[in-house]
Amino acid sequence: MCPVTDWLKKNSGGDGIYEPVRFNGWPEIKEAHVSGYLPATFLLAPMAMALRQQGAPIKIVYLGHRDGTAIMVHKDSNIGNFHDLRGKTIAIPNRFSNQFLMVYRGLRDRGISISEVKIVEMPPPDMPAALYTKSVDAISSGEPWMAKSEMEGYGRVLYQAKDIWPNFISCVLVVNEQVINDHPEWVRSMVDGIASSGKWVEQGIDHRMQVADAVANTYFNQDPKLLRFVLSQPPDRVTYANLRLARKDFELIEQLALEAGILKGPVKFDDYTDTRFSDQTAEAHSFDGRGGK
Amino acid sequence: MSKSSKVVLVVLGGFLCVTFLHVWLNIGFDKVRFRHAQNDTASMRVGYLPVT
pLDDT reported for residue A193: 84
Chain A contact present for B48, CB below 8 A: yes
Which residue among B44, B46, B52 sits closest to A2, beta carbon to beta carbon?
B52
Chain A contact present for B46, CB below 8 A: yes
| Contacts B38 to A, Cβ<8 Å | none
Taking an 8 Å cut-off on Cβ atoms, the answer to whether A29 and B49 are in contact is: yes
The percentage of chain B sitting over the pLDDT mark of 90, rounded to a whole number, equals 17
A79-83, A194-198, B7-11, B25-29: segment of lowest average pLDDT: B25-29
Residue A66 has pLDDT above 80, yes or no: yes
pLDDT reported for residue B30: 54
| Contacts A201 to B, Cβ<8 Å | none
CA atoms of A290 and A55, how far apart (whole Å): 31
Taking an 8 Å cut-off on Cβ atoms, the answer to whether B52 and A124 are in contact is: no
Which pLDDT band, with edges at 50, 70 and 90, does A5 fall under? low
Taking an 8 Å cut-off on Cβ atoms, the answer to whether B49 and A171 are in contact is: yes
Chain A contact present for B50, CB below 8 A: yes
| Contacts A19 to B, Cβ<8 Å | 43-46
Average pLDDT over residues A6-33: 75
Which residue among A18, A23, A190 sits closest to B49, beta carbon to beta carbon?
A23
Nearest chain B residue to A1 by CA: give it: B52
Neighbours of A282 (CB within 10 A): 11
CA A103 to chain centre: 15
The CA distance from B39 to the nearest CA of chain A, in Å, is 8
Residue A78 has pLDDT above 50, yes or no: yes
- Of A105 and A19, the structure prediction assigns the larger pLDDT to A105
Max CA-CA distance within chain B? 76
pLDDT reported for residue A276: 92
In three-state secondary structure terms, A183 is coil
Which residue among A4, A17, A219 sits closest to B42, beta carbon to beta carbon?
A17
Which residue among B42, B45, B52 sits closest to A21, beta carbon to beta carbon?
B45
pLDDT reported for residue A6: 60
Query: ipTM, 2 decimals?
Result: 0.78
CA atoms of A90 and A87, how far apart (whole Å): 10
Which pLDDT band, with edges at 50, 70 and 90, does A241 fall under? confident
Residue A67 has pLDDT above 90, yes or no: no
Q: Letter for the amino acid at B37?
A: A
pLDDT reported for residue A105: 95
Which residue among A17, A33, A171 sits closest to B51, beta carbon to beta carbon?
A171
pTM of the model: 0.78
Contact of A169 with A253, CB cutoff 8 Å: yes
Burial label, A208 (beta-carbon count in 10 A; 0-12, 13-18, 19+): buried
CA B9 to chain centre: 24
The CA distance from A18 to the nearest CA of chain B, in Å, is 5
Which pLDDT band, with edges at 50, 70 and 90, does A291 fall under? very low
CA atoms of A157 and A154, how far apart (whole Å): 10
